[in-house]
Amino acid sequence: MQISNNLSGVFSRKSRTKTIRPSVAANRQKFLDWLQSTNPTAYTAIMRKAGLQVMGADTNPVTNPTMWESIVAGAKEIIPTLVQAKAQQQIFKAQMQRATQGLPPLQPAEYAPTVRVQAGISPGITDTLKKMALPLGIGAAALLFFVMKKKGR
């Protein structure tokens, strides 16, 4: 009984609070400070998406793992949209500059990367199939021969 009493605390399902190392908390804070200074729009949007107001005094998201996970999830959702919007702004500026110079607008193929898609079997697979064709053909012919011979009996 004494052993089971000693082990009951080890195997309990109580949740334990994660402790954040000071260096991790400091790096997280540096990241948030950098984001706020370089792109306040992204910072505000991410904090709102995470369900946090802009850095309140009562909570510190860099030391709270749950809050930090919310910030990371918000960043993963918002940053691609912001990057795309910035790219669209740059394209719009380039088109406006061309228009003021009297040049025709750029076509998407002129500023978008070209993606080529190849449908079919890759050359490596066709080479392998060519090498295996003769042995597979001989094996199939032998199998057919034995099946036909067995039916004839």
Cα–Cα distances in angstroms (integers) from residue 74 to residues 3, 52, 78, in the given order: 46, 11, 6
Average pLDDT, the chain: 75
Question: pLDDT digits over 54-88, tens only?
Answer: 555 455 666 677 778 888 888 888 888 888 888 88
Question: pLDDT digits over 7-54, tens only?
Answer: 333 333 444 445 567 777 788 888 888 888 888 888 888 888 877 765
The values of phi and psi at residue 117, to 5°, are -120, 130
Using CA of residue 125, residue 128, residue 132, residue 133, what is the dihedral sign?
positive
Question: pLDDT digits over 122-131, tens only?
Answer: 777 777 877 8
Q: Where are the domains of the chain?
A: 19-111
